[in-house]
Amino acid sequence: MEVQNIVISRDLGAEVEEAVGRVSPDRLFVLTDHTTRSLCLPRLRECSPLVAALEPSRLISIAPTDDNKTLDSLTSVWTALGEGGATRHSMLINLGGGMLTDLGGFAASTFKRGIAFINIPTTLLAMVDAAVGGKTGINFRGLKNEIGVFNSADTVILDTQFLRTLDRANLCSGYAEMVKHGLISDIQTLAQLLRFDLDNVDYELLADMVAKSVAVKERVVAADPHEKGLRKALNLGHTAGHALESLAMEEGRTVLHGYAVAWGLVCELWLSVVRCGFPTDLMRQVAQFVRETYGQFVITCKEYDRLYEYMTHDKKNTAGSVCFTLLGGVGDIRLDQHASRDEIFEMLDFFREGL
């Protein structure tokens, strides 16, 4: 997998024209969801003559939210590409959040065995996580990202002006991934993230922090593009987080991905304290930040078996054992850490009672 071309945007229109021009597609398509079609497509059309000139059949829109990251939505994109005359030499621009860049990247990667695509993430979560790193896919049979491929976008354009369209919940959702990046990098970065005021956002400072967060992920992905080793560091918080997210989906109380990751970080930092000597006071500091920012996801001990079952389906597992990425300290990454059923239930006790 080639290293992605990631652009921190200064002139969105010029950067889109350059990215499209490098490929010179025979047909250009833009994929949005219904929300980004309303809030974000007008800015892209205003900036880019190429996009402004597109006929309606080249503008594809799907329903928003992770509930619609499904095979049905994927099929609708494939159908729209086919009916719009897309060929192997066409290009798709994915304009939206992580659900859309995941699904759109998978649609492009598989249509006619692969067409070029550009990601223009419009949420903080997509900018620092989903749109960067070459992972694409959909949810399947209630499991997160169960079907997909590794395939990098030709270009990822990060325009932080789109962050002004976000409500607080979606801003916080992406911020959880930035906290994760801080935990796997250095204490100074983590301290800045825990101090940042999410109620009175300094967008200029946030843009700098986004660039720093993306750089952390870029370094990890460049060293391990197909998740054979170091890239597993990016799964901190996700084994527990994906289980909580899947349970929420099953029970009809869907939560934003970043909220589940934040709660998963609390779970896995507790496990890091127990298994790897992570500092207890720092774990509690992060847990306090999560409680104040993300609230609490209520579970009971009756749901432990279901959560454990979800964890057994995690793609990082080996030999039937649930596998975690843990920390010995900030930046001290411990990969492939196995935990027993009893330890996982104790972790869930802490989450339920201690958060």
Question: Over the stretch 58-67, which tens digit does the pLDDT of each residue have?
Answer: 999 999 988 8
Contact present, 184 and 197 (Cβ < 8 Å)? no
**How many Å is the Cα radius of gyration of the chain?**
20
Query: What tens digit of pLDDT does each residue of 75-115 get?
Result: 999 999 999 999 999 999 999 999 999 999 999 999 999 99
Q: Rounded to an integer, what distance in angstroms lies between the CA atom of residue 277 and that of residue 189? A: 21
pLDDT on residue 145: 87
Fold classification of 169-354 (topology level): Dehydroquinate synthase-like, alpha domain (1.20.1090)
What are the tens digits of pLDDT across the range 281-316?
Answer: 999 999 999 999 999 999 999 999 999 999 998 777
Q: Is it the case that residue 159 has pLDDT exceeding 70?
A: yes
How far apart CA 164 and CA 161 sit, in angstroms, is: 6
Residue 219 pLDDT > 80, yes or no? yes
State the CB neighbour count (10 A cutoff) for residue 301.
10
> Is residue 1 over pLDDT 60?
no
Which pLDDT belongs to residue 32?
A: 98
- Span 5-166: which CATH code? 3.40.50.1970
Gap between the Cα atoms of 33 and 24, Å rounded: 25
Mean pLDDT over each residue of the chain, to the nearest integer: 93
DSSP secondary structure of 28-62: EEEEEEHHHHHHTHHHHHHH-HHHHT--GGGEEEE
> Who contacts 235 (Cβ-Cβ below 8 Å, separation ≥6)?
316, 325
State pLDDT tens for residues 128-151.
Answer: 987 788 889 999 998 888 999 999
pLDDT tens digits, one per residue of 231-240: 899 999 999 9
pLDDT tens-digit map of 168-196: 999 999 999 999 999 999 999 999 999 99
Would you say 22 and 157 are in contact if contact means Cβ atoms under 8 Å apart? Answer: no
Dist CA 175 CA 173 (whole Å)? 5
Question: What confidence score (pLDDT) does residue 231 get?
Answer: 86
Domain spans of the chain?
Answer: 5-166, 169-354
Q: How confident is the model at residue 3 (pLDDT cuts 50, 70, 90)?
A: low
pLDDT, average across residues 222-232: 82
CA gap 327, 329 in Å, rounded:
5
**Per-residue model confidence (pLDDT) at position 269:** 98
**Average pLDDT, stretch 160-175?**
94
Does this chain's domain 5-166 share its CATH topology with 169-354?
no
User: Looking only at Cα atoms, what is the longest distance across the chain?
Assistant: 59
User: What pLDDT shows up at residue 355?
Assistant: 58
Which pLDDT value is given to residue 55?
Answer: 92
Structure tokens that stand for 278 in this block = 């992570």
Q: In this prediction, what percent of the chain has a pLDDT beyond 90? A: 83
For the record, the structure tokens of 40 come out as 């974000």
Span of 71-80, 296-305, 323-332, 346-355 with lowest mean pLDDT: 346-355
SS3 333: strand
Give residue-wise pLDDT tens across range 251-281.
999 899 999 999 999 999 999 999 999 999 9
13 has pLDDT over 80: yes
3-state secondary structure of 312: helix
In the block, tokens 């998963």 appear at: 264
Which pair of tokens denotes residue 288? 């306090």
